[in-house]
Amino acid sequence: MDLMEKLSTANGISGFEGNIVNIIKEELVDSVDEIQEDLMGNVIAIKNGEKDATKVMLASHMDEIGLMVRYIDKKGFIRFSKIGGINDQMLLNQIVTIHGKNGDITGVIGSKPPHVMKASERKKIIEYDNMFIDIGVFSKKEAEKLISIGDPISFKSFYEEFPNDLIMGKALDNRIGCYVMIETLKRINSKANVYGVGTVQEEVGLKGAKTSSFRINPDMAFALDVTIAGDHPGIKPDEAPVDIGKGPAIILADASGRGILTPEKIKNLLISSSKEDEIPYQLEVSEGGTTDGSAIHLTKEGIPTGVISVPTRYIHTTVSVASMKDIENAINLLVKVIDNL
């Protein structure tokens, strides 16, 4: 199993990122000088350069969207809460894994069958609080032998290599960023002091980025994430202007400026490095979501921060699609930037 597949198929919803921490440690133990974990659960891999040289932070969140056990009814059916941003229509009939106290339990998400729905009901999207998880038991007592309130729930999926160097899998947001961070740390040969951070709980409030950047206090930082690819039916080019296969996106603004507004010197550094080595890139101004970069750049007295994102289709589903060429070019760009510092 290659690294990208290993990262995609590993389970780690927000607050339960331990599996991803272990993968990062295993991959980097022979490539960095020190690996730390902080009290929030962030993993920090340090590659030392020269004394008093520029301190650079690479931040990639480890968590994926998921669910959590909220209630068990008298027949053993489970009600759940969403952890992270999930569109209700992608939930129905998914196979899930509940990570219980005595091991993993498989379940399926069900709801009222369409056969007994009124015509008006069939036209509506079923909301998650009208769904439940069936684990094949017949009582609350039986269910409680296997699971508990608060158990994390991840989606069961598989990883596939598509034609044209495309990949498909769950949790590409943001195991792609983790892959980019890991491979960048392996390949750099820089005078800079580089801190590769796997952050926790990004999907629920950029939490790990806030605490880890406060601890490290770098001179500059780069958040590594994914962005929406607008190259498929049902989306207008002006809504999502980047395409799969045309290089990583350099984010100039996100959340209409409520998130990151990339400093001019970071923007110029990324663009000039791309042009120098003829690395393909795209520019994006986004009105949508944001990344760890928004938390990092507001830490302490302010940290100059950039965001490099890999275009990805169907983000926050179990069938996201991205290009390994774009991923490699994101790594090439970061290596170029860091080695030149």
Same domain, 36 and 175: yes
Query: What CATH number does the domain containing 139 carry?
Result: 2.40.30.40
> What is d(CA 339, CA 341) in angstroms, rounded to the nearest whole number?
6
Q: What is the number of domains present in the chain? A: 2
Nearest CA-CA partner of 167 in 244, 96, 236:
244
What pLDDT, on the 0 to 100 scale, is given for residue 124? 79
Label residue 238 by pLDDT band (50, 70, 90). confident
Beta bridge pairs of residue 323? 166
**114 pLDDT exceeds 80?**
no
Same domain, 225 and 300: yes
Over the stretch 261-279, which tens digit does the pLDDT of each residue have?
999 999 999 999 999 999 9
Same domain, 204 and 284: yes
Q: Give pTM, 2 decimals.
A: 0.96
Q: What value does the CA radius of gyration of the chain take, rounded to a whole number of Å? A: 21
Q: In this structure, is residue 164 part of a structural domain?
A: no
Which of 27, 183, 202, 203 is catalytic? The answer is 202
**122 pLDDT exceeds 70?**
no
What pLDDT, on the 0 to 100 scale, is given for residue 327? 98
Query: What CATH number does the domain containing 295 carry?
Result: 3.40.630.10
Same domain, 73 and 191: no
**Residue 79: strand, helix, or coil:** strand
Same domain, 85 and 105: yes
**117 pLDDT exceeds 70?**
no
Same domain, 106 and 192: no
Same domain, 89 and 59: no
Q: Which of 126, 155, 184 is the last residue of a domain?
A: 155
Label residue 256 by pLDDT band (50, 70, 90). confident
Over the stretch 286-329, which tens digit does the pLDDT of each residue have?
888 899 999 999 999 999 999 999 999 999 999 999 999 999 99
| Domain that includes residue 230, residue range | 3-64+170-339
Above pLDDT 70, what percent of the chain? 96
Mean pLDDT, range 223-252, rounded to an integer: 94
What pLDDT, on the 0 to 100 scale, is given for residue 121? 66
**119 pLDDT exceeds 70?**
no
Q: In this structure, is residue 311 part of a structural domain?
A: yes
Q: In this structure, is residue 19 part of a structural domain?
A: yes
What's the chain's average pLDDT? Answer: 95
Q: In this structure, is residue 8 part of a structural domain?
A: yes
Question: At 133, phi and psi to the nearest 5?
Answer: -110, 130
Is 202 part of the annotated catalytic residue set? yes
Same domain, 208 and 291: yes
Same domain, 46 and 92: no
Label residue 54 by pLDDT band (50, 70, 90). very high
Give residue 138's Cα distance to chain centre.
36
Over the stretch 124-134, which tens digit does the pLDDT of each residue have?
788 999 999 99
